[in-house]
Structure formats: structure tokens, C-alpha cells
């Protein structure tokens, strides 16, 4: 299982040491700001798809997106 946690910058070094010391943690690595931004965008897009499938919002068609360009 993958878990994403957020640690304050001034505690990041200590937090990483704690995570790496746990025997059940197989990998702990920090994410850069670009990766975090991409992750947030993907979560938002997935939420919009869920809402669209539930009929709560209407998404733009590919043609609408092309017309905006």
C-alpha cells in the first residue's frame, strides 16, 4: 500500500529518518513541488470524472476544448 503524508519543511529531515527506520516501510522518498502539483491536478481530474459519471457536472467535449484554442 502507498501512503502520502505531509510533513512541515522544518521537520522533514527528522520525519524521513523516522520513516526509514521503520521495518515495514519499504520506501520513503520526498516529492518535489512539480510532482506534488501534478498529483493534485490528477486528483482533481479524477474527482471531476467521478462527478460527471454521477451526472452532477457536465464536462467539455474534446471539440469544445479545441475550439477554445
Mean pLDDT of 7-18: 95
Question: Per residue, what are the HEC states of 18-56?
Answer: HHHHCCCCCCCCCCCHHHHHHHHHHHHHHHHHHHHHCCC
Mean pLDDT of 59-63: 92
Q: Report pLDDT digits (tens) over 13-55.
A: 999 999 999 999 999 999 998 999 999 999 999 999 999 999 9
Residue 4 scores a pLDDT above 90:
no
For the chain, give every domain's residue range: 9-68
Q: Cell numbers 481530474 label which residue?
A: 45
Amino acid at each position: 500500500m502507498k501512503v502520502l503524508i505531509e510533513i512541515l519543511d522544518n521537520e522533514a529531515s527528522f520525519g524521513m529518518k523516522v520513516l526509514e527506520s521503520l521495518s515495514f516501510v519499504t520506501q520513503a522518498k520526498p516529492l518535489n513541488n512539480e510532482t506534488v502539483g501534478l498529483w493534485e491536478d490528477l486528483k482533481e481530474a479524477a474527482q471531476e470524472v467521478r462527478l460527471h459519471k454521477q451526472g452532477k457536472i457536465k464536462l467539455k467535449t474534446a471539440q469544445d476544448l479545441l475550439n477554445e484554442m
